[in-house]
Amino acid sequence: MNKFTQSYIEAALWSSTDDTDTPLDKRFGIEDISKECLDQMKKDCEDFQSQYKDLISCDEKRAGHDFWLTRNRHGAGFWDGDWPEHGTMLTEESHAYGEVNLYVGDDKKIYC
């Protein structure tokens, strides 16, 4: 798994909470994400990277983090100043992917 995707998943777990408002990364890791959800996360990351590789390759780790935050409108992300030349465009493109909500299933796996 590349830096972009790893960072995207870390941001997803860090910024998502369970039904007691505990951040998911306090109790869960990547191994707890359902195969279907993990496959979708990887697909979205691969797609975004393939389209905007030239714009985000300077900091793939930050880009993965910002992709998650921006697509889910978390109040930080590509638009907040770290990507001055292309932040607006990357924000619009991230929003086109739609929001994703993680949740813990009855089997204690994470789904999206």
30-84 pLDDT, tens digit per residue, is 999 999 999 999 999 999 999 999 999 889 999 999 999 999 998 889 988 788 8
Residue range 83-95: mean pLDDT, rounded: 92
Distance CA 84, CA 98 (A): 23
Residue range 81-91: mean pLDDT, rounded: 88
Instruction: Give the tokens for residue 98.
Output: 């739609």
SS (H, E, C) 8-50: HHHHHHHHCECCCCCEHHHCCCHHHECHHHHHHHHHHHHHHHH
Instruction: Give the tokens for residue 66.
Output: 């910002």
pTM above 0.75, yes or no: yes
Residue 81: enclosing H or E segment and its boundaries?
none
